[in-house]
Amino acid sequence: MINSVSIGVFVALFLVFIFLGFYGSRWRKGDLRKLKEWGMAGGRLGTFLGWFLLGADIYTAYTFIAVPSSLFAKGSIYFFAAPYVIITYAFAMWAMPKFWRIANKHGHLTVADFVRSVFNSRLLAISIAIVGIVAELPYIALQIVGMQAVLIALLSGLGAVNTIIEVALVLSFIILAAFTWTSGLRGATLGALLKDALILVTVAVVVVSVAAVGGLHSAIINASATNIHYFTLPSSLYNAYWSLFILSALALYLYPHVTNATLAQSSPERVRKTASLLPLYSIGLGFLAMFGFFIYGIPAALKYVKLFPASVQGTQIVPGLILTVLPSWLSGAALLGIFIGGLVPAAIMAIAAANLFTRNIAKEIKPKMTPHGETRTAQVFAVIFKFLALGFVFIIPATFAIQLQLFGGILILQILPAFVFSMITRKLNKWAVFLGLVFGVFLGIYMMLAANHYATWTTTLIATGIGPVFIGLIALLANVVIVIVGTFIAKALLGERAYAADQVLD
């Protein structure tokens, strides 16, 4: 259980992490007052660091907290995260080197820059930027939930549960804001190295420890005694399963923080090679997801988790296993890994959202901004976006935090036609793409509200004739239909003038 040793190790390693953050601002020194330096590490990351930076996009609170939590609460359906983090890299290997080359040649730093020059449309570029920023907010909120979960575990011996939950939230937020402001993407990348090392060790040691006491076997027996489907997927959920993993796979590389990390690498060949090896990284995610039923093999951990109200119970799965099966000093280190596993990605996401805001919205309004003014704007908005993200923390019970990421996915998927289709064909009409985007976003939000009966959000599946299906699939299909039909109509009315500007792809 938690004691002064684990807290001491946690604090000591946190100081090391803070040092790395500040050191990061000097490392491979660039002028941090410039946006490309603060927000993209100057675009000089090779395979190794690129791998860690992109790894930071997978090893987030999504992996440590949200997936195990929902698997514990709802069963095998949430193991969709495993095929998701395999398939997404096939998509990345195809789309990202293409994007890197075009962006590099034309000086694009964001997807909105790219869309603006392909479609020669300021309106479309601003819309893409807004959707990108809004989609990051629930994902950032998920990271805050993860950091909160760790602080709850650390403070759990101290008193009233509800007070601890609130204090943990405020602390998480302050630490996040301060960290992002000071070091930018460089500091975040160095932090990612420490985080991943701690996490990989933690996962390995927990799995071995659980297995060593016969926990895998008793987990299967005890979990089978519950009324949740843990070990097979009910056939009614097949369509939910594949729609969740395929659409999540398409969504990941559309997020501003991921395209940003992609462009921060130094060549398209490296982008592709990095992506091809990332499924290895996913092994840790798979094991962490299975902690959602492993916990049934360790009675003390299950007892710890049940101390909390159902609304936050799931978030304590991984902390609970860490606190019960690891020695105190290692549990402190492991909890720190999870804590910065929320902190670093949240910083990366806020930086990406702020970059996008500065380049594609603020500069459209105020074109004469100085380079240093740009960076300051981005820093200020990185903080503002984190405040907005906080709003999402309150509409979803922490146990269902995975819905935050899935909701972000529903939104970001809507930029797929504008971004990805336009790398394949030039024959798209900008108004059709714009209408598809807007309709897809609003349909997604509407279905989200309806599927949850206008109350707190616990699902992103909606009932259809073929069983429950991920809302992102339906919203994207509607979007694509509008893009195709709209483009045909525009072609009939305008002829060749209906199409996207075509010089950019050459």
Partner 1 sequence: MGKGIDAAIVILLLIPLVALLLIPTYNSEYPIIGGLPFFYFYQMLWMPLGALLFYIAAVLWNRRDRRAGISGRGIGRKAHRGSRR
Q: Is 228 in the site for partner 1 (CB under 8 A)?
A: no
Q: Is 276 in the site for partner 1 (CB under 8 A)?
A: yes
Alpha helices in 358-370 (DSSP H): 363-365
Q: Which of 16, 283, 307, 449 touches partner 1 (CB under 8 A)?
A: 283
Task: Give 93 or 388: the residue with its C-beta nearer to partner 1.
Answer: 93
Within positions 423 to 462, which residues make up the interface with partner 1, using CB under 8 A?
424
Buried b (16+ CB within 10 A) or exposed e, 285-310: bbbbbbbbbbbbbbeebbebbeebee
Buried b (16+ CB within 10 A) or exposed e, 192-204: bbbbbebbbebbe
Tell me the β-bridge partners of 464: 467
Give the C-alpha separation, 270 to 75, whole Å: 37
Q: Which of 177, 188, 250, 290 touches partner 1 (CB under 8 A)?
A: 290
In the numeric block, the tokens 């937020």 are attached to 173
Q: Which of 5, 134, 171, 216 touches partner 1 (CB under 8 A)?
A: 216
Evaluate whether 193 touches 52 at the Cβ level (below 8 Å): yes
Q: Is 232 in the site for partner 1 (CB under 8 A)?
A: yes
Stretch that binds partner 1, among 33-41, 94-102, 125-133, 336-344 (CB under 8 A): 94-102
Q: Which of 26, 122, 217, 306 touches partner 1 (CB under 8 A)?
A: 217
Q: Which of 102, 147, 348, 415 touches partner 1 (CB under 8 A)?
A: 102
Q: Is 278 in the site for partner 1 (CB under 8 A)?
A: yes
Evaluate whether 68 touches 206 at the Cβ level (below 8 Å): no
Tell me the β-bridge partners of 227: none
Enumerate residues 6+ apart whose C-beta is below 8 A from 172. Answer: 144, 147, 148, 151, 342
Among left, alpha and beta (phi > 0; psi -120 to 50; other), residue 98 is alpha
Q: Is 366 in the site for partner 1 (CB under 8 A)?
A: no
Task: Give 147 or 289: the residue with its C-beta nearer to partner 1.
Answer: 289
Q: Is 48 in the site for partner 1 (CB under 8 A)?
A: no
Task: Give 251 or 356: the residue with its C-beta nearer to partner 1.
Answer: 251
> Three-class SS of residue 78?
helix
Token pair listed for 326: 């690891």
**Mask for 242-271, x = binds partner 1 (CB under 8 A):** x--x----------------------xx--
Q: Which of 183, 262, 282, 313 touches partner 1 (CB under 8 A)?
A: 282
Give the C-alpha separation, 479 to 247, whole Å: 14
Q: Which amino acid is at 127?
A: S
Q: Is 304 in the site for partner 1 (CB under 8 A)?
A: no
Binding residues for partner 1, rule CB under 8 A, total 46
Stretch that binds partner 1, among 150-158, 277-285, 352-360, 369-377 (CB under 8 A): 277-285
Enumerate binding residues for partner 1 (CB under 8 A).
Answer: 76, 79, 82-83, 85-87, 89-90, 93-94, 97-98, 101-102, 105, 211, 216-217, 220, 231-233, 235, 238, 241-242, 245, 268-269, 272-273, 275-280, 282-283, 286-287, 290, 424, 505-506
